[in-house]
Structure 1
């Protein structure tokens, strides 16, 4: 099973640029075309948050139309730039989304089980999951301890070293870590938020973050570093599941590059 991951789309209303600089809607279209042109089309796309930039109904209308053009089934979770209720209304036709409360869900229709977690705190940019959400996750994990499972979580549950991103990290991930450690079948935790690809061993599994389809947040590790980003490199992730080899993840850069050449 080939699973693609898109993240941090930051869709804007028609004619409006992201941060007044770049056309995030066009960039999402290019990311979708990138997936459609692959030699093996993904079976499923996971969208790990920040589908839109300001959470407005107009933005969700554009995002939904663009994602529909993908013609590949997809599952999405909200990010800190999303608005939970507007997200729920926009994707009301997606039967996996709960009708009230945080947007936690489990989809068990594929070779790999997909658990979506809503780590958003309305009105804030950091991430957290309350006690009820953690109990829901524990119950879902314990209901099937053998099927390979992927967990979607917008906020990475660790310090990444970029000071202006760590300010908005998942706060106190220890209770979430304890729940995930109870399960031996979580193959990977897929995150967004940082607009970069990162990898960390955590909670007896692996956490992997996905680049944005729009901009890359700059890798600056000085404690006094000021927020900055660049247009590119943009990318997505591909997660290849095979029952014999497990999960293998690749970063796939979006854009036109020189080649192909007759060597590998």
Structure 2
């Protein structure tokens, strides 16, 4: 009887110890990889960064300088190096990221990147990418960052960010939301120029080709449009692929260890002008 009793006591002790470890560390458990609940400090980041931007207004007539990059995905070391480099750039007002914050649409991926980007000394704004919509990534992005389509005016520039990840909606003919985009670009809200940014460029096979004519026409008819910014392709490029006067600028991914500084102003005829500087880090 004694050996059996000793074994039972030992087993009960082990189970109690395991339970104690399990429940004492319960805040470390993640019951689902798709769970997007997290700390309040890592929610609603788009609005929080817009508030930071509004707190440092750019006087009317001033030249705007901003950083343009995209596709951070799982390149966490590169995020830290990029942040260190951007923080050394003088006269830069904000950074814009052309989507694919995550690789697998997981909230924890987005938070890992956000924690690093929050070390920037300037605000940053993002647009949703196709990788950010894998699984329930769309809901995660909305929880952590915010709206999929939105716009704002900073200084003399209106920024319009639009979801163009058509394949993630099974090419349903509604993404990108062209009517919403048309309404946005036709109303400058007092700005003297505007910039449109999306993740998937309209010449890409992941863009709903049935919407390409309406989308590109909308941009071609947009007053004071400086250019359109895209990510998705992981390499930097600039051109006018539709030969309609609209310039498309594509960002390199974080793994390429480079980003662009964009300088934007209006000339004597009040037409938008820009200059690009490539920075390696």
Q: TM-score, normalised by structure 1?
A: 0.71
Pair 1:47 & 2:97 matched: yes
State the partner residue of 2:187. Answer: 143
The unaligned stretches of length 5 or more in structure 2 are: 1-63
The residue that corresponds to 1:34 in the other structure is 85
**Residue pair 2:194, 2:226 contacting (<8 A) in 1 also:** yes
**Of 145, 157, 160, which residue of structure 2 is paired with 1:115?**
160
Residue 85 of structure 1: SS of its match in structure 2?
helix
SS of residue matched to 2:277 = strand
Q: Which aligned pairs between 1:154-173 and structure 2 lie closer than 5 A? A: 154-158=199-203, 166-169=204-207, 171-172=209-210, 173=212
Match of 2:178 among 123, 130, 134: 134
Q: Report the equivalent of 1:258.
A: none
| Inter-partner Cα distance in structure 1 for 2:249 and 2:172 | 18
Selected match of 1:189 from 203, 228, 250? 228
List runs of 5+ in structure 1 lacking aligned partners.
12-23, 92-96, 159-165, 215-232, 255-264
Q: Specify whether residues 127 and 44 from structure 1 end up closer, same or farther in structure 2 by C-alpha distance, changes over 3 A only.
A: farther
- For residues 85 and 173 of structure 2, the distance between their equivalents in structure 1, rounded to whole angstroms, comes to 33
Distance 1:248 1:34 in 2: 19
* Gap change, CA 1:29 and 1:194, over 3 Å in 2: same
Task: Summarize the alignment of residues 237-252 of structure 1 with structure 2, pairs less than 5 Å apart.
Answer: 237-244=260-267, 246-252=273-279
The answer to whether the 8 Å contact 1:57/1:86 transfers is yes
**2:114 equivalent in structure 1:** 64
Q: Which residue of 2 aligns with 1:179?
A: 218
Larger radius of gyration: 2
Contact 1:2-1:43 at 8 Å conserved across structures: yes
RMSD after superposition: 2.4
Counterpart CA distance in 1 for 2:238 and 2:78 is 25
Mapped partners of 2:70, 2:121: distance in 1: 17
Number of residue pairs matched?
206
Alpha-carbon spacing, 1:104–1:26, altered in 2? closer, same or farther (3 Å): same
* Shift of residue 128, structure 1, vs aligned partner: 8.5
Give me the whole-angstrom Cα distance separating, in 2, the residues matched to 1:128 and 1:3. Answer: 34
The Cα of 1:190 is off from its aligned counterpart by: 0.5
Q: Give how far 1:88 is off.
A: 0.7
Summarize the Cα distance change of 1:195–1:81 in structure 2 as closer, same or farther, 3 Å threshold: same
Q: Give the distance between the partners of 1:5 and 1:141, measured in 2 at CA.
A: 20
> Structure 1: how far apart are the matches of 2:215 and 2:111?
33
Cα distance in 2 for residues equivalent to 1:152 and 1:45: 12
> Is the alpha carbon distance of 1:192 and 1:127 closer, same or farther for their aligned partners in structure 2, counting shifts above 3 Å?
farther
- Does residue 88 of the first structure (1) align with residue 142 of the second (2)? yes
Give me the whole-angstrom Cα distance separating, in 2, the residues matched to 1:237 and 1:170: 28
Q: Which of 191, 212, 237 is the equivalent residue of 1:198?
A: 237
Q: Distance in 2 between matches of 1:131 and 1:58?
A: 26
